[in-house]
């Protein structure tokens, strides 16, 4: 296949077809169902509502931030997989402003979600025994210099400033590249790499601290140095799965039907397989380290998730989040078949929700498992997120045709 027949000006004018744009109406329906469910749940059980809201929020924030990370990885490493995925990454990152808005209710209801922010921690964790309540108060006192409202809000502001700043600059430069004449490799594309290197370092630091602040601190007694890395791997996996789903749909119509090839899906499938293994490695590492250390501050975290009603969920995660996708993604033919790969990607996204619920739910629900409001929150927030995502994607060209490496990327795997 040759690439000299591509008209870059025509590619830059191309937008998603009406068929894909129709996803906006489906997103509205999905969001409406989720929001109605959440509203009903809030009236019935306000405490569970906020727990489920946090799960839904963290899931969609993960795809937003994972897209930012993979966008910077692509600028640093190159690769055809990222060239055809770049517009999806960019459209996802521009939802960071929505995530900032949706964080405000969490900040407002901090004492209803986080025991360390409540006047009486047992109001947030009422299932705690007298001994556990004493240990909880002791842990909160020891960590008061870090776990306090003022410092929490300050760190949250810093996170969004960094994430929003990187998103704004990278998207602005990308638009400038579209609007300018095609150029050879030089300073204008080098600046993406110059920013992306430090940007990835900032991403790792902020996401690690975010995971500690917004998730690990839900149980102040628990501590793990690898906890933030678990969420970095989870964000990358969820983002790749989401990107494969979108690309699978876009590749049916022009212009991506002329641009994307089986090799591009093969590369994305291999990356998703790598992140499945990475996620499993991080989780097994944390389990082995904590179990072998046998520390009373850390072992209860796993005991709550590996017994009773949560044990079947743990088995489901082992099989559905690792064993099944790992086995399927070993197939070369499957990775080169967009529709089959999209089915695996959709299943991975569902398992990401289950995994997040398994991480957060047992803190509040010792004798119950996944609540229907967890999926209502994912649907409600997801409907709004997807509606804006489709709008973002429709506002720009689907391929970065003026990128100096675009032709080489399109020719990847061609004959």
DSSP 285-338: HHHHHHHHHT-TTTHHHHHTTSSGGGHHHHHHHIIIIIIHHHHHHT-HHHHT-H
Q: What angle do CA 156, 162, 163 make, to 5 degrees?
A: 90
Of 59-68, 307-316, 391-400, highest mean pLDDT: 59-68
Which tokens sit at 149? Answer: 């409202």
CA distances to 97, 103, 310 from 23, in Å: 21, 25, 35
CA 11 to chain centre: 29
What DSSP string describes 133-147?
Answer: HHHHHHHHHHTTTTS
- The reported pLDDT for the residue numbered 176 is 87
Looking at per-residue confidence, does 83 or 368 come out higher?
83
Nearest Cα to Cα of residue 349 among 320, 327, 391: 320
CA–CA gap between residue 170 and residue 195 (Å, rounded): 8
Q: What is the mean pLDDT of residues 287-296?
A: 84
* 283 to 278, 320, 401: CA distances (angstroms): 9, 14, 40
Please give the C-alpha separations between residue 11 and each of 252, 399, 411, in angstroms, as whole numbers. Answer: 16, 7, 15
Alpha-helix residue ranges (DSSP H) falling in 22-147:
23-44, 46-77, 80-93, 96-108, 110-113, 130-142
Can you spell out the DSSP letters for 33-49?
HHHHHHHHHHHH-HHHH
Amino acid 339: pLDDT: 94
120, two tokens: 């009486």
pLDDT digits (tens, 9 = 90+) for 23-75: 888 888 989 999 999 899 898 888 889 999 999 999 999 999 999 999 999 99
pLDDT value at residue 21: 66
- 380-386 average pLDDT score: 95
Q: Which of 329, 225, 327, 337 is nearest to 272 (CA)?
A: 329
Classify residue 390 as exposed, middle or buried by CB count within 10 Å of its CB (0-12, 13-18, 19+): buried
Tell the residue number behind the tokens 């927030």, with chain if given.
381
Distance CA 186, CA 182 (A): 11
Q: What is the pLDDT of residue 415?
A: 37
Longest CA–CA span in the chain (Å) reads 74
Residue 409, both tokens:
């990327």
Report residue 14 as tokens. Answer: 């191309």
pLDDT digits (tens, 9 = 90+) for 243-255: 999 999 888 877 7
Q: Which two tokens stand for residue 341?
A: 């790969």
The pLDDT of residue 413 is: 46
The token duo for 392 is: 């973002």
- Angle between helical axes of 372-394 and 46-77 (0-180°, round to 10): 40
Peptide bond just before 64 cis, omega within 30 deg: no
CB-side neighbour CA atoms (13 Å) of 253: 12
The predicted-structure confidence for 229-288, as pLDDT tens digits, reads as follows 999 999 999 999 999 999 998 888 777 777 888 888 999 999 999 999 999 999 999 998
pLDDT of residue 234: 95
């Amino acid at each position: 296949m040759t690439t000299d027949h591509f008209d870059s000006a025509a590619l830059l004018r191309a937008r998603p077809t009406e068929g894909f744009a129709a996803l906006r109406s489906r997103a509205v329906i999905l969001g409406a169902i989720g929001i109605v469910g959440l509203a009903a749940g809030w009236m019935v059980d306000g405490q569970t509502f906020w727990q489920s809201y946090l799960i839904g929020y963290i899931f969609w924030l993960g795809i937003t931030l994972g897209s930012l990370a993979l966008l910077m990885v692509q600028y640093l490493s190159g690769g055809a997989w990222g060239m055809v995925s770049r517009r999806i990454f960019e459209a996802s990152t521009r939802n960071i402003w929505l995530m900032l808005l949706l964080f405000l209710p969490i900040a407002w209801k901090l004492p209803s979600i986080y025991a360390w922010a409540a006047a009486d921690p047992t109001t947030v964790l009422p299932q705690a025994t007298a001994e556990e309540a004493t240990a909880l108060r002791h842990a909160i006192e020891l960590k008061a210099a870090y776990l306090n409202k003022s410092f929490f809000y300050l760190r949250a502001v810093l996170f969004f400033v960094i994430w929003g700043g990187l998103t704004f600059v990278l998207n602005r430069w990308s638009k400038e590249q579209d609007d300018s004449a095609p150029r050879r490799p030089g300073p204008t594309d080098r600046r993406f790499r110059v920013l992306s290197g430090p940007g990835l370092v900032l991403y790792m630091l902020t996401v690690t601290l975010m995971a500690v602040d917004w998730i690990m601190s839900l149980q102040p007694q628990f501590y793990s140095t690898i906890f933030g890395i678990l969420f970095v791997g989870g964000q990358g996996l969820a983002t790749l799965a989401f990107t494969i789903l979108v690309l699978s749909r876009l590749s049916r119509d022009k212009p991506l039907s002329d641009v994307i090839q089986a090799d591009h899906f093969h590369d994305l499938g291999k990356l998703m397989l790598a992140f499945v293994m990475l996620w499993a490695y991080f989780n097994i590492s944390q389990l082995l380290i904590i179990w072998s250390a046998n520390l009373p501050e850390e072992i209860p975290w796993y005991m709550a998730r590996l017994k009773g009603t949560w044990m079947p969920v743990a088995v489901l995660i082992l099989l559905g989040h690792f064993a099944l996708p790992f086995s399927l993604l070993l197939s070369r033919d499957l990775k080169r078949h967009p529709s089959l790969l999209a089915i695996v990607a959709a299943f991975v996204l569902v398992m990401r929700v289950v995994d997040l619920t398994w991480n957060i739910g047992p803190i509040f629900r010792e004798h119950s498992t996944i609540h229907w409001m967890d999926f209502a929150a994912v649907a409600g927030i997801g409907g709004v997120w997807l509606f804006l995502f489709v709008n973002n994607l429709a506002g720009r060209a689907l391929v970065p045709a003026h990128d100096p490496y675009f032709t080489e990327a399109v020719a990847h795997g061609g004959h």
